[in-house]
């Protein structure tokens, strides 16, 4: 069995990411495991040398303070005020900060939610979970939130219905062709 003493849960403060926290809590229930809730503030620069002035630095500090307060509120309201949870705020490229934190803190397992982006949104935005899985030396448990699972089930049901109605139409068409062939055979 995997011994987990340090668990990392990257959280973007969305409802989706809270599901990863629930999974993490279930994985460590009854164990003395430290859970780190990591929120990364994206500060991706478009130029080679990042330009940070005092104004933007103060804005980033304010965002960090607000994010920390939101993490604490989430813990009180949604995560049952767990005492083995530490809050960490970082700045940078999200997937890199997650991978770096996991390495630096010798994390045993990363538990993170997926957002279910597909198509052009995934191509433009990318998948943080996919990048973490690709670049991390630490095992990653990717959690598909309940809302996404339900949406996918509904999509799959629609696909099944479409294919089954097409299948029925094809079967009816084939049956009619067989009947017409049978009749023509009887006439000959």
pLDDT by residue for the chain (188 residues), tens digit each?
A: 567 789 999 998 887 788 888 888 888 766 788 999 999 988 765 444 455 555 577 888 888 888 888 888 877 766 655 668 888 999 999 999 999 999 999 999 999 988 755 555 555 445 888 899 999 999 999 888 776 667 666 665 655 655 665 555 555 555 455 554 444 334 33
Q: What pTM does this model have?
A: 0.68
Spatial separation of the C-alpha atoms in residues 156 and 9, rounded to whole Å:
29
CA distances from 49 to 9, 41, 44 (A): 30, 18, 11
Q: Which residues sit opposite 41 in a β-bridge?
A: 91
């Amino acid at each position: 069995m995997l011994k987990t003493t340090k668990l990392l849960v990257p959280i973007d403060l969305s409802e989706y990411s809270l599901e990863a926290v629930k999974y993490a809590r279930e994985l460590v229930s009854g164990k003395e495991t430290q859970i780190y809730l990591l929120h990364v503030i994206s500060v991706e620069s478009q130029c080679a040398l990042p330009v940070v002035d005092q104004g933007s630095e103060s804005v980033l500090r304010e965002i960090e303070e607000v994010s920390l307060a939101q993490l604490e509120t989430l813990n009180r309201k949604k995560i049952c005020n767990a005492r083995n949870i530490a809050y960490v705020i970082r700045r940078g490229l999200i997937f890199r900060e997650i991978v770096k934190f996991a390495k630096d803190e010798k994390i045993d397992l990363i538990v993170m939610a997926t957002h279910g982006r597909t198509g052009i949104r995934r191509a433009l935005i990318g998948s943080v979970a996919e990048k973490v899985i690709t670049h991390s030396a630490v095992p990653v448990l990717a959690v598909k939130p309940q809302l996404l699972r339900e949406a996918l089930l509904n999509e799959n049901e629609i696909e099944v219905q479409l294919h089954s109605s097409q299948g029925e139409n094809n079967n009816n068409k084939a049956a009619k062709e067989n009947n017409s062939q049978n009749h023509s055979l009887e006439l000959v």
